[in-house]
Amino acid sequence: MDPATKSYIQKPGSSYNLDELIGAWELFAQDSFRLRPNLTINYGLRRDFTGDDHDLTSEYSGALPAAIYGPTPVGDLFAPGVLGSNTNPELIARSHQYQPWHISPQPSIGLAWSPDFKDGILGKLTGGGKTVIRAGYSLRRFTEPQQYFWNQATNYGSFYYQNFNLYSNNTGTTGSFAPGSLSLGQSLPPYAFNPAAYSPTNPEANATFQL
């Protein structure tokens, strides 16, 4: 799809240039406090501010909550027979598909303790006060890779790429040819293109099995 003309380019070698942007920044504070001469505590807090991965050409398609729930009222999954919501959910091309994520406190704590055993069995086991025992804990949040977002938000390029096919059958429809009617080097019949034309909105029903 050509973003300038909003039409498909049916030319070999054509491509769609992705133009994504995501911003993020972090705050981090840490300190240490010596409770005793042989016991020190380290502690810190990190908070990430992660923006949304968005398409600057506004061609990534996604579903709003009403389109995700479909005929079922939003948030009400356990209401059999209540079908008064969106009866024709669509995937809509737009730049921003989700909100930035700013709630990510990530604490950490650690301690260093040097046992004060200089004599006896414990003193021998700890090297006469030369042993240091360290322990720590931290919580770190995982940021979803942007490739995963591209897979879902673009439906693997379902809408800004156009598919074409040619099948052998006896239907006579565009994109088909009678079995045995083509020879090597012969010009091919017209392809069947899907979708036929670009649209920023696409009904979810197009991706379901239809009788």
pLDDT number for residue 70: 87
135 contacts: CB under 8 Å, gap ≥ 6: 110, 111
Q: How confident is the model at residue 32 (pLDDT cuts 50, 70, 90)?
A: very high
Dump pLDDT digits (tens) for 61-74.
888 899 988 888 88
Residue 124 and residue 97: Cα distance in Å, rounded? Answer: 63
14: closest CA among 128, 154, 161? 161
Could you tell me the two tokens for 102? 């700013």
Flag whether pLDDT at 160 surpasses 60: yes
- Residue 192, pLDDT score: 93
Position 211 scores a pLDDT of: 45
| Whether this model's pTM surpasses 0.95 | no
The pLDDT of residue 177: 93
